[in-house]
Amino acid sequence: MENTEDMIRMENLIENRLLSATVIGIEWERVTAYFDVRVEFSDEADKTKPLVFYAVNGVYQARAVFRQERISGDIYRLSLNVTNPGNARCIPTGNYSMVVCQENNILAVAETDVPLALKLQECSRNFLYSGKARRKTYAVTFLVKEWAETLPFVMHILHAKNAGMSDIYAAPKKKPTFMSTQKKKFKAKKRKYAFKLLQEMYDHYRKKYRNNKNTVLFLYEANYNMASNLKAVQKRIAERGIDQDYTILEYAWIADMPATYNKRERLEHQRALAENLAKANIIFVDNYVPAFTHVKLDLQNTTIINLWHAGIGFKAVGYSRWGHLAASAPFLAHRVYTYGACGSRQVSHVFAEAWGINSERVLPTGMPRMDKYLNKTHREEKTGELYEEFPMCRGKKVILFAPTFRGNNHPDAHYPFEIIDFEKLYELCGDEYVVLFKMHPWISQPVPIEAYSDKFLNVTDYPDINNLFYITDLLITDYSSCIYEFSLMRKPMLFFAFDEMQYSISRGFHHDYRLAAPGKVCNTFDELLTAIKNKDFEFEKVEAYIKRNFDVIDSNSADRVIDWFILGQIPQQYADEIAARDEEMYRMYHQLSFDALKPVRLLIKRSGEDDAENPDGNSDDAENRSGDEAAGSTGDE
């Protein structure tokens, strides 16, 4: 129950006609809908006070507040991320009106412009998620309220499972045997039991260690070992002597346990994971941790920080991929982060969208792994080591070919080497260039360069691509985030995007690829060779990329991570922004009441008189409620 003493009951001033609001346009950018709204003020309206636009459901609850920008005198550009309106959850199922407010007054409910009303279905979106086999959809449908005298704007949200329709012409499915059915049920039950057991273990240990303070856990995937940002922060903690006052833990979780693991070993790993999670009140991760999806963590007393392992590239991940067959479920591990780290405030929204959290909580600490990378002594040391390890590079210009993988994930990761004309590239090298091939670690196929070993070298097994950048004169990549670190070398890049259209459709981009790429984009291998030959790199794009992605370029990122997230010294500006967003969400979810929008006949009933118009006790509002009963739930599967 809400605390009625804190309730703010909005006053309905719609009849005063102080303003009108009309939705005149709708556009989408991945999971964010943009609405152009024309607002017309009356002479009596107070134009000095700001307007607030709420999404209010059929049971008169605000479940989202639109971000806004006034783009002209009477046109507002509103935006709404349907996967995260501010509470790190998808907007719940329901029918939503766009309600315009000023302070605690309701001034209007938005209408729909006639030309837009005729194409609302074209503006609607269905977002597939949870993989092809489970066939689930998050549907956002725009429409107008039926049988109304005007055209009230409605946004209908539905979390839909398989509709149950089948193809009558499809070949009949093979009838499952008793054993296959039991085996399927057993696997599902076993999986459910494993998650339940992990939760029980965590709850047990959390009670045991509930008084733990100053305990920091570095959690990473065993397949990759602890490296990159986590290692840099852990090392800096020791250098500063902070480990004297804090207990430092580390644990490697196993994504896919080897078949050789027996039941006892699997159980021990599960127990150790639960205990380490329970011990810590500060947890650092640098990748997706599946346990966070299935374990209800004590988030009020635990701070979780994601120091993402990659810089910002092009390809969409997480919730930015909604609408693709392999997209994430409505709730997943990324949602639990208290904070995230990035290099620039200008790109914090990119990480926030992918993780499904608020951009105010993604702070520009910089990437700790860059501290060593930018250190002059380290650079000189590694440059010498690289020339010793790869002597063919000495005295030559080095081209580093470092593309990302193709495919959905690790099991089907590959790269189509047949599109590379190795012979033409070899001829182009002449006496000027050598080429290093650094493929994504998920790609198991060897690079077929045996016949060109005097100028080509496969360095895929070299552990740190950043070190290779020191001796690289030209980077050739495609959609990889390695451009993030390489850009700071202020050297040219080329982008071999032979599948630009297909990749854009199947994977999706955060930005317009050609505008955002800090170098020339080539769609064919011949274009790439010509660009190398003519030194046509569009090098001027590099500086613009650096300006957009780096607020500070120094070797102090690990210190900022420690100061802000461990010692609690977040700069006041960012702390205020976080607090303001949290207060906005609390006010909307726990204080605001839009009961004033209810029809009068439901609020005042004449004494001793039945509803003559609705002898069955039904009403238009009751009918509306039937479709919105679930609006108070999260709608998460």
CATH fourth-level superfamily of 372-555: CDP-glycerol glycerophosphotransferase, C-terminal domain (3.40.50.12580)
What pLDDT does residue 171 have? 62
> Can you tell me the distance from the alpha carbon of 14 to that of 105, in angstroms, rounded to the nearest whole number?
9
What was the pLDDT predicted at 607? Answer: 41
Kindly report, residue by residue over 117-145, the tens digit of the pLDDT. 999 999 999 998 875 456 688 999 999 99
pTM for this entry: 0.84
Please report how many Cα atoms fall inside a 13 Å half-sphere around the Cα of residue 541, on the Cβ side.
17
Grouping H, G, I as helix, E, B as strand and the rest as coil, residue 322 is strand
Instruction: Kindly give the residue spans of alpha helices, DSSP state H, lying in 246-398.
Output: 263-279, 291-294, 348-355, 369-373, 376-389
The two tokens of residue 119 are: 């194409």
d(CA 629, CA 94): 8
Each domain of the chain, given as residue ranges in start order, spans 4-166, 199-369, 372-555
According to CATH, the superfamily of the domain at 199-369 is CDP-glycerol glycerophosphotransferase, N-terminal domain (3.40.50.11820)
Contact predicate 57/95, CB 8 Å: yes
At a CB cut-off of 8 Å and minimum separation 6, what does 509 contact? 314, 315, 316, 479, 516
- The whole-angstrom distance between residue 389's C-alpha and the CA centroid of its chain comes to 39
pLDDT at 315: 66
Side-chain half-sphere CA neighbours of 255 within 13 A:
11
- pLDDT given for residue 151 in this prediction: 96
Q: Which residue has the tokens 């599902």?
A: 188
At 579 the pLDDT is: 97
The secondary structure of 1-17, three-state, reads CCCHHHCEECEECHHHC
The end-to-end CA distance of the chain, in Å, is 24
In the prediction, which pLDDT does 494 show? 97
Nearest to 157 by CA among 141, 136, 135: 141
Going 321 to 368 to 361 to 577, the CA torsion angle's sign is: negative
pLDDT in tens, 401-424: 999 888 767 778 889 999 999 999
On the question of a common fold for 199-369 and 372-555, the answer reads: yes
Residue type, 188: A
In whole angstroms, give the CA distance from residue 571 to residue 334.
24
Weakly modelled stretches of the chain, pLDDT under 50 = 1, 132, 601-637
d(CA 307, CA 633): 31
The interaxial angle of helices 525-534 and 422-429, nearest 10 deg, is: 0
3-state secondary structure 538-586: CCCHHHHHHHHHCCCCCCCHHHHHHHHHHCCCCCHHHHHHHHHHHHHHH
Three-state secondary structure call for residue 183: helix
